[in-house]
Structure 1
Amino acid sequence: MFPGGRKRSRESDKACLRREIKEELPKLKLGRISLWKEVTARNKRSGRKMSDAIFIAKGAKGRLEIGDKKEIDRAAWHKPRGLRLTPTSRYIRDRLFPRKRR
């Protein structure tokens, strides 16, 4: 799942991402962050506009220790296949990790 936070006023997208990761997983340290893609769409059910900035981190180290157990109940590393994903997560996975052709 994605962090559920919101940008604070005058906070850049990258600063927001780093702050959210630090709040949710305080022992995790991210390497260089770069914008991969911005996605804007309208929710088919509610009609609400959605906007997401998707970033890639060059490396991550540290433990997946949870910062606020009221927000996150667990954290684990997984391979990109074999997980139940939301449509947005599936889109990202399939673009970043395309299936290998045999």
Structure 2
Amino acid sequence: MNVVFEAELWEWDARRTETWTFVTLPADVSEEIRERAAGPRRGFGSVRVGVAVGATAWKTSIFPDSSRGYVLPVKRAVREAEGLDVGDTFTVTVELLDY
């Protein structure tokens, strides 16, 4: 399963000393992933994915969020390589690897 979508980078303050940034997968995509990934899952309900943003590609996991659907963490190296800041909207390609 491959999906391409536009998403806004947002920030979640996990702890006082750490800041995490994410994009939210579209609701219909999150629902389809839930259906395909039913059964035993990895820690925190994560699903392994391949991701591309601009010229940067990497493997990571997406995580279910009770209010948003699935969310994708975007690490600092990717943000710096692609010149992304919180609030920016950009194209994301996600490929499910394990389901």
Provide TM-score, normalisation by structure 2.
0.27
Provide TM-score, normalisation by structure 1.
0.26
Question: Which protein has the larger Cα radius of gyration, Structure 1 or Structure 2?
Answer: 1
Structure 1 or 2: larger strand share? 2
State the structure with bigger RCO (CA 8 A, min sep 6), 1 or 2: 2
